[in-house]
Structure 1
Amino acid sequence: MLVKLGSRFAVGLLKLFAILPYGLIARFGDGLGWLLYQIPSGRKRVVHTNLRLCFPEWSDAKREEIAGLHFRQAIRSYIERSVQWFGTAQKLEKLIELDSEIDLTDPNLPPTLFLGMHFVGIEAGSMFLNYSLHRPCGSLYQPFSNPEFEAAAKAGRSRFGAEMESRADAARIVLRWLRDKKPVMLGADMDYGMRNSTFVPFFGVPACTLTAVGRLAKVGRAQVVPFIGEVLPNYKGYRLKVFKPWDNYPTGDDAQDARRMNAFLEEQIPRIPEQYYWVHKRFKTRPPGEPNVY
């Protein structure tokens, strides 16, 4: 009962934050992230482990700097879900600038998989992509274990016409969406375990990487369009950056297609390293015989 009341209070707080000026809640989230970073925690160790594995050439001072900035960005992103889930469309339009290399309003848009990369702005980017398409789309997501947050997230994410489905066992649903010419949004750059995955390098480290994107694109005859939600400096909001479709993709080689996504990330992360989702255990699943790195 107490957990349920606490969850309802947290959702109510997010709704309250949504009506406050964005700069105020962004600064609050930033400050809360700084405060939490001062406290030893498992997630803080995960961030440092990921940075040490991916950027061994960095000095300890640089890794500490990026880790601290990332923790602030990550905590801030949770607070800013208030605006993303409960803010008006007009408020989102003012906060998010669109930088797209394709015409999102093209009525003849071919079957498309929009591949969202897990930077801290992915929530804002995904919702504004849905809004900018001006048509219904399908979206895969990882459900929350907490029913109060699950209901709030699903309602908020679907309010611009997105049909939300759990990513578990969703291949048939995605193929149906693609056959219906409905754009599909999904994320794949996380460690979801060995099912439908293979080990390919990510900054030189073997990373358990989904192969489903290439197979879905092949069967659904879909183009794959990556996008990134970036947090702008000085609390100015976000940029939704939509890239061109990947050429010569899929190749039919699962490992090569999985590597394509990681190579794309290796190009983009150095631009804004503090914004990639380092709090995630990206190397949780290890190749046979290799020890746990966390």
Structure 2
Amino acid sequence: MERISLALIVALLRTLSVLPYKFVARLGMVVGTALYALPSRRKHIVLVNLRLCFPEKSSHELDTLAREHFRHVVRSYLERGVQWFGSARSIQNIVQIESKIDLDDRDAPPTIFMGFHFVGIEVGCMLYSTQFPVASLYTRMSNAGMCDVAKRQRGRFGAQMIERATSARKIVGLLRSGTPVMLAADMDQGVENSVFVPFFGVPACTLTAVSRLARLGQARVVPFVTEVLPNYEGYKLTIFEPLLDFPSGNDEVDARRMNTFLEEQVAKFPEQYYWVHRRFKHRPPGMASVY
């Protein structure tokens, strides 16, 4: 049964990859609106996260924001068709890129590209891999078949797909060899190698991997964000200036800086951040679960 389900999903994504982009994007928004009307675990998680992070908003405002987020999330799922099975040209046609650093610099220092889980993160990473060498960290999915498909399709333009559990030595080796590494450290991966620092004023279990890898690899840390453009015009990948004095030598200070930077980006388009994840899954000792 699992194989049949996987085959059907792959067939659907392949079909979506050849349909007009704007049609697929609009379809995703419509399906997202319909799914939001139904009670679900994911809807509950979204609303809990939004209430915690935006306590000043009314119930109506939170509901509106949650609905718009659901629309964007479902749309991003359908757009995986072109991201996973479309040509490099089809991806380049829907993603603009604006970089504050010279991406063609052959003498660039070791670089960690630090991403965040906005709905456009995948297409931004895919676009980058069509033009430049890169290694990308991923977290293994519970569904082994889907994980294999995702890994293969995400890496089909040459990106080296590195499982997050891989030893730091391998990642540091890539950095020192001149291969940039893309990763995202804004999800709750457990208390090991993490610290609790505020995210919109709420204690959030935040990974310290970025600081550690940057220190070991003597790498600069360059944030990037991919946003959904209005009117179904595609996406914009923005690559920022490297963070100054990062790592600082204090993992907690660095984690706070990461979350502060992320808050600034979320404020620009809050409906596009991945509120469907349990960002506050782990809580500091003595604090009750929120989900």
Instruction: Identify the TM-score tier after normalising by the shorter chain.
Output: over 0.9
Residues 38-49 of structure 1 aligned to structure 2 (within 5 Å): 38-49=37-48
Partner residue in 2 for 1:266:
263
Distance 1:41 1:170 in 2: 37
Unpaired runs of at least 5, structure 1: none
CA contact (8 A) 1:105 1:132 kept: no
Matched, 1:238 2:228: no
SS at match of 1:64: helix
Partner residue in 2 for 1:292:
289
Kindly state the Cα deviation for residue 172 of structure 1 after the two structures are TM-superposed: 1.7
Distance 2:169 2:225 in 1: 26
Partner residue in 1 for 2:212:
215
Q: Which whole-Å deviations, capped at 9, do the CAs of 1:235-288 have from their partners, x for residues lacking one?
A: 111111111100011100010011111000111111100000000000000001
Partner residue in 2 for 1:277:
274
Partner residue in 2 for 1:186:
183
Residue type at the aligned position of 2:177:
D
Kindly state the Cα deviation for residue 144 of structure 1 after the two structures are TM-superposed: 2.2
CA contact (8 A) 1:214 1:254 kept: yes
Distance 2:55 2:278 in 1: 17
SS at match of 1:248: coil
Q: How many residues align?
A: 291
SS at match of 2:131: helix
Partner residue in 2 for 1:31:
30
Partner residue in 2 for 1:113:
112
Distance 1:169 1:98 in 2: 30
- RMSD of aligned alpha carbons: 1.0
Kindly state the Cα deviation for residue 130 of structure 1 after the two structures are TM-superposed: 2.0
Q: Pick closer, same or farther for the CA change 1:169–1:152 going to 2, 3 Å.
A: closer
Kindly state the Cα deviation for residue 147 of structure 1 after the two structures are TM-superposed: 3.0
Partner residue in 1 for 2:63:
64
CA contact (8 A) 1:66 1:274 kept: yes
TM-score of the superposed pair, with normalisation by structure 2: 0.98
Residues 107-186 of structure 1 aligned to structure 2 (within 5 Å): 107-133=106-132, 136-186=133-183
Kindly state the Cα deviation for residue 151 of structure 1 after the two structures are TM-superposed: 2.3
Q: After alignment, is 255-264 or 137-146 more displaced? A: 137-146
Distance 1:82 1:94 in 2: 15
Distance 1:87 1:105 in 2: 25
* Aligned-pair identity (%): 54
CA contact (8 A) 1:49 1:293 kept: yes
TM-score of the superposed pair, with normalisation by structure 1: 0.97
Unpaired runs of at least 5, structure 2: none
Residue type at the aligned position of 1:184:
V
Partner residue in 2 for 1:73:
72
SS at match of 1:58: coil
Matched, 1:248 2:245: yes
Residue type at the aligned position of 1:101:
K
